[in-house]
Structure 1
Amino acid sequence: MQIELTPAPFPDAPVLLLIAGLGGTGNYWLPQRAALSEHYQLVVYDQRGTGVNREPLPNDYSLADMAYEIHSAVLQQGITHYSVLGHALGGLVALQLALDYPASIDRIAIINGWLQLNAHTRRCFAVRETLLRDSGPTAYLQAQPLFLYPADWMAANQPCLEAEEAMHNAHFQGAENLTRRLNALKAADFHDTAAHIHQPVLLICSRDDLLVPWNCSVELHEALPESTLEVMPWGGHACNVTDANNFNQRFLSAMSALQQIEPSFQKENV
């Protein structure tokens, strides 16, 4: 798997892995890269089945597979400890990494995540799957911004949306890969395992998220042993894109506070 490492901003800078959502590509994080690269060495990548790592995915593709693939790629770069910032599906992969490789994961931040797929979110995905199946990738991609961005932001950013749609059309991951990655997302359930995640976790959500209701982050916050919840009043599902400056400031401030908290499994080993 191809991954990108940014230069370390200073000696022994902490490493931060960025994991996108269902779109899967690393360019999702463009609004964060400049701000975060001053504080972290970033690991950015296109998930397997997307972008430069596009290849056919197996029918039984799972969240554990996603975690294994990126963890193996990070280890190959000689990185044994890192934190994770994940958006939606990427946040689920972050939780899986914490469960499967706890000694390597320092801290986690999740944007608009959940314990188990909410009924409303499941309905939204069903609509999107119907569009993909019955009307094709173009219709699917035309509808995608409706689930990601606030209406006022979309109205003010039409040229950006048109360019984004053209890029996604040109680099579409394929219906089969998208469906298999979506099936892995829908199967994820952390109700019985969240209590075993002992890393400090930052949860950031947006109250006006159309795809994932913000109370899903509240439920996740209540299930995790060590978590902090930041609620943004506006920004939609992709609040780190639509309100990037606000998001970046919140993230850096909250993560700085989490740096003072040791994962409980490390405390137990002292």
Structure 2
Amino acid sequence: MATLERPDGTLVYDVAGEGPPLFLVSGLGGSRRYWDNLLPALTAEFTVVTHDHMGTGETISRRTAHTVEALAEDVVALMDHLKIDAAHVLGHSTGAAVGQVLGETAPERLRRLILFAGWPGPDPVFDMCFEMRRHMLADSGMEPYQRSTPIFLYPPRWIAENIEMCRAVVDGLIALSPPVETMLARIDMIVRFDRRDRLALTGGEPLIVCARDDILTPPHCSEAMAAGIPGARLALLEWGGHAVSQTDPAAFLDVILPELRRG
């Protein structure tokens, strides 16, 4: 674990592997640990950089205004700190929102851009999910909120067949959870995220990846991104839910590795 001092806190990050630089940007939970299951495959070919979002995981945060733009600035600052001119960026969910911002504000810093389980702006299904999750968090606290998380991340069959793993994931989420106020602010951040009128400004010709049974950011959200971003390509995986990189890592790697190797 290494750290980077930012104006509003201390960012925690890890670097592992050898090869072209690859930044893995996590979703709403913000923990770099989300990617642990993929690291053996990815670090064999790439220098992989993971970090905890400001205000989550092991960071020390004084950030009060949570925006996707600030998260994108953190990624650029980390590239600068590591003296990396350009890198592959793979962003999951909130990380895919960060990738969209980087595609407009810093396209020269991108090699290959992969937007995984993302969305371009307000959507009825997305909004319904997060309205319910926000109420649960505000009314019942962090532990019940996190104990419901597998329902949104994983297919029902996978949960049933991997219940002990799900319980371990939940315990890890609870242990790494930010304060309730921070998570509420992060939910508000993603609900107000809206790039629909700016999609055409996203550079990098991204690969857009989503599982067909993702209930949190359904495939129609990825289809909208692919339709609006020049040069974007869409890959829909048959099964795996919002966290298909964990539920079916082999299928996920089969899609993303050829894209990264093109770089």
Normalised by the length of structure 1, the TM-score is: 0.90
Letter in 2 for 1:77: L
CA distance in structure 2 between the partners assigned to 1:65 and 1:169 by the alignment: 24
The equivalent position to 2:15 in structure 1, one of 5, 27, 46, is 5
CA distance in structure 2 between the partners assigned to 1:4 and 1:85 by the alignment: 15
Post-superposition Cα deviations, 1:112-165, rounded to whole Å, max 9, x if no partner, equal 111113111111001111111111111101111101100000001111111111
Are 1:152 and 2:162 an aligned pair? no
Are 1:111 and 2:121 an aligned pair? no
Change in CA separation of 1:131 and 1:147 when aligned onto 2, cut-off 3 Å? same
* Deviation of the 1:56 alpha carbon: 4.2
Determine the structure 2 residue equivalent to 1:79: 84
Determine the structure 2 residue equivalent to 1:265: none
Letter in 1 for 2:191: K
Letter in 1 for 2:31: T
Q: CA RMSD in A?
A: 1.3
Higher-strand-fraction structure:
2
CA distance in structure 1 between the partners assigned to 2:95 and 2:69 by the alignment: 12
Determine the structure 1 residue equivalent to 2:56: 50
Determine the structure 2 residue equivalent to 1:263: none
CA distance in structure 2 between the partners assigned to 1:228 and 1:38 by the alignment: 26
CA distance in structure 2 between the partners assigned to 1:34 and 1:57 by the alignment: 33
Letter in 2 for 1:48: M
CA distance in structure 2 between the partners assigned to 1:70 and 1:183 by the alignment: 21
Determine the structure 1 residue equivalent to 2:171: 166
The equivalent position to 1:37 in structure 2, one of 38, 43, 46, is 43
Determine the structure 2 residue equivalent to 1:19: 25
- Number of residue equivalences: 253
Does structure 1 conserve the Cα–Cα contact (< 8 Å) formed by 2:88 and 2:110? yes
Change in CA separation of 1:229 and 1:103 when aligned onto 2, cut-off 3 Å? same
* Deviation of the 1:54 alpha carbon: 3.8
Equivalent position SS for 1:18: strand
Letter in 2 for 1:15: P
Moved more, 182-191 or 221-230: 182-191
Does structure 1 conserve the Cα–Cα contact (< 8 Å) formed by 2:138 and 2:184? no
Letter in 2 for 1:185: I
Normalised by the length of structure 2, the TM-score is: 0.92
CA distance in structure 2 between the partners assigned to 1:84 and 1:254 by the alignment: 11
The equivalent position to 1:215 in structure 2, one of 208, 215, 220, is 220
Question: Percent of pairs identical after alignment?
Answer: 28
Unaligned ranges ≥5, structure 1: 260-270
CA distance in structure 2 between the partners assigned to 1:86 and 1:209 by the alignment: 16
CA distance in structure 2 between the partners assigned to 1:109 and 1:187 by the alignment: 22
Equivalent position SS for 1:180: helix
Determine the structure 1 residue equivalent to 2:7: none
Are 1:89 and 2:94 an aligned pair? yes
Determine the structure 1 residue equivalent to 2:4: none
CA distance in structure 2 between the partners assigned to 1:54 and 1:24 by the alignment: 13
* Deviation of the 1:218 alpha carbon: 0.6
Post-superposition Cα deviations, 1:26-70, rounded to whole Å, max 9, x if no partner, equal 110012111111221111111100111142431x32111111122
CA distance in structure 2 between the partners assigned to 1:30 and 1:23 by the alignment: 14
Determine the structure 1 residue equivalent to 2:185: 180
Equivalent position SS for 1:17: strand
Unaligned ranges ≥5, structure 2: 1-10
Does structure 2 conserve the Cα–Cα contact (< 8 Å) formed by 1:84 and 1:105? yes
* Deviation of the 1:19 alpha carbon: 0.5
Equivalent position SS for 1:209: coil
Does structure 2 conserve the Cα–Cα contact (< 8 Å) formed by 1:25 and 1:47? yes
Equivalent position SS for 1:22: coil
CA distance in structure 2 between the partners assigned to 1:226 and 1:180 by the alignment: 33
